[in-house]
Structure 1
Amino acid sequence: MKPFKNNEVIINAHLQASKQAIIIFTRNPELGKCKTRLAKTIGNEAALNIYKHLLEHTAQITASVNVDKFVFYSEQIVQDDLWNATIFNKKLQQGQNLGARMEHAFLELFQQGYNKIVIVGSDLLDLNTDIINEAFYKLDNNDVVFGPAKDGGYYLLGLSKMQPCIFRNKPWSEANLLEVTLKELGLKNVSLTLLKTLNDIDKFEDIKDYPQLKKFYTKHD
């Protein structure tokens, strides 16, 4: 058996070198606590139902990605919900703002030995498995991958190593978030690339072009 030992080492090293994970950040779907900007137009119940629909879409497209999967809840971990515990590892977000919570999630997984990590939100109907797979592929030759959102932020972030500056002192929820982040990364020796721009759903204007969402609201044409 000795001649095969080196091959086993090579195979194990390759598996370790391609240890990948996806992080899904999600809010616990509670009435009046999610999609609040959308709720100002269509009401809390309709906004909640749309958010649940978005969660189902996100769970479906991420389940088939061939990497380890982690769902980070905003408030509390729920064992019996749409995130199948045999597919998704469940964790709790930690931090005072979005940047701190994302940084903690990335750091935790990097410390577990992952070296290609992608994070996505849970409010995009245009996000699909192919786009997520493309992000992992592009991390082969880049330190950072962004999926730009039409509102000036980003719907996806991929890292092959920690980049703390991405998460600190940033204008979260502002229209210049990605611009500011790219400018700061441009001052460092960081290789990065961008995916296609997508529309995330935060307010009523964002849902008008999705016929499948009309069943959740009425009298708001």
Structure 2
Amino acid sequence: MPALLLFVKNPIPGKTKTRLAASVGNEMALKMYHQLTDWTREQALGLEGVDRFVYYSNEVDTTDEWPNDRFAKRLQHGGGLGERMEQGFREVFAEGQDRAIIIGSDCPGITTDYLQEAFAALDDHDLVIGPALDGGYTLLGMRTLETSLFRNMEWSTERVLPDTLDRAEAAGLSVHQLAPLSDVDYLEDWQSYGWPMPE
């Protein structure tokens, strides 16, 4: 069975979407983050034939808006982002999942159709990547764990995507790239999707 891993941050005022909060304040940034996670959850629930996993940054919350019967809830393990992602992939592959895709929760461009296209690409590619406009990626999927994609990477820089592609090539992996999208890190990113500000 394919696995969808959703990496989410526990919503903590003052520590959630801090770059966005610099423009709109902590309270509004938190509301915007909730709207982003609501969107991501809805798109994930539109997928059929997929096991869904929510990986929390700080603690597992069994009372939040993510239905316990539709999402397996887990905690991210590891220091940096690369270590946490590698561990997430390692866990689901060890449990017999035949392919896995990981996304965050702050990209309105990730729709159910986009996710379906990503899973379909893994039928005949080792790796699928959803490029981000800032030089990183919004989605990463693979059929088997390739640890070189996560170690000693300069995360949150414009080098992430090109370095990932170089490492995939060095490992002999075939790659399918999806249409590039923008994460919502800044107010302009939010506005580019035409979303109104939360009430």
TM-score (norm 2): 0.96
Aligned: 1:57 with 2:26: no
Q: CA deviation at 1:72?
A: 0.2
Q: CA deviation at 1:175?
A: 1.3
Give the one of 4, 18, 23 matched to 1:41: 23
What is the alpha-carbon distance in structure 1 between the residues aligned to residue 187 and residue 46 of structure 2? 30
SS in structure 2 opposite 1:158? Answer: strand
Give the one of 75, 82, 86 matched to 1:92: 75
Q: CA deviation at 1:94?
A: 0.2
Give the one of 10, 19, 30 matched to 2:12: 30
Match of 1:181 in 2: 164
Residues 38, 202 of structure 1: 8 Å contact kept? yes
Residues 145, 159 of structure 1: 8 Å contact kept? yes
Q: CA deviation at 1:183?
A: 1.3
Paired AA for residue 124 in structure 1: C
What is the alpha-carbon distance in structure 2 between the residues aligned to residue 59 and residue 25 of structure 1? 11
Paired AA for residue 105 in structure 1: G
Q: How does 1:107-118 map to 2 (within 5 A)?
A: 107-118=90-101
What is the alpha-carbon distance in structure 2 between the residues aligned to residue 122 and residue 162 of structure 1? 22
Paired AA for residue 201 in structure 1: V
SS in structure 1 opposite 2:38? Answer: helix
SS in structure 2 opposite 1:46? Answer: helix
Superposed CA offset, 1:170-208 (max 9, x none): 110001210111112222211111001111101122122
Equivalenced residue count is: 198
SS in structure 1 opposite 2:192? Answer: coil
The structure with more helix, counted as a fraction of residues: 1
What is the alpha-carbon distance in structure 2 between the residues aligned to residue 167 and residue 80 of structure 1? 31
Superposed CA offset, 1:132-156 (max 9, x none): 0111111011111000011111000
SS in structure 1 opposite 2:191? Answer: coil
What is the alpha-carbon distance in structure 1 between the residues aligned to residue 57 and residue 47 of structure 2? 23
**Aligned residues: percent identity?**
40
SS in structure 1 opposite 2:180? Answer: coil
Match of 1:4 in 2: none
User: Which entry has the higher C-alpha Rg, 1 or 2?
Assistant: 1
SS in structure 1 opposite 2:188? Answer: helix
Structure 1 segments (4+ residues) deviating >4 Å: none
Paired AA for residue 60 in structure 1: E
Q: How does 1:61-72 map to 2 (within 5 A)?
A: 61-66=43-48, 67-72=50-55
> Where does the alignment leave 5 or more consecutive residues of structure 1 unmatched?
1-18, 217-221
Residues 50, 213 of structure 1: 8 Å contact kept? no
Aligned: 1:20 with 2:24: no
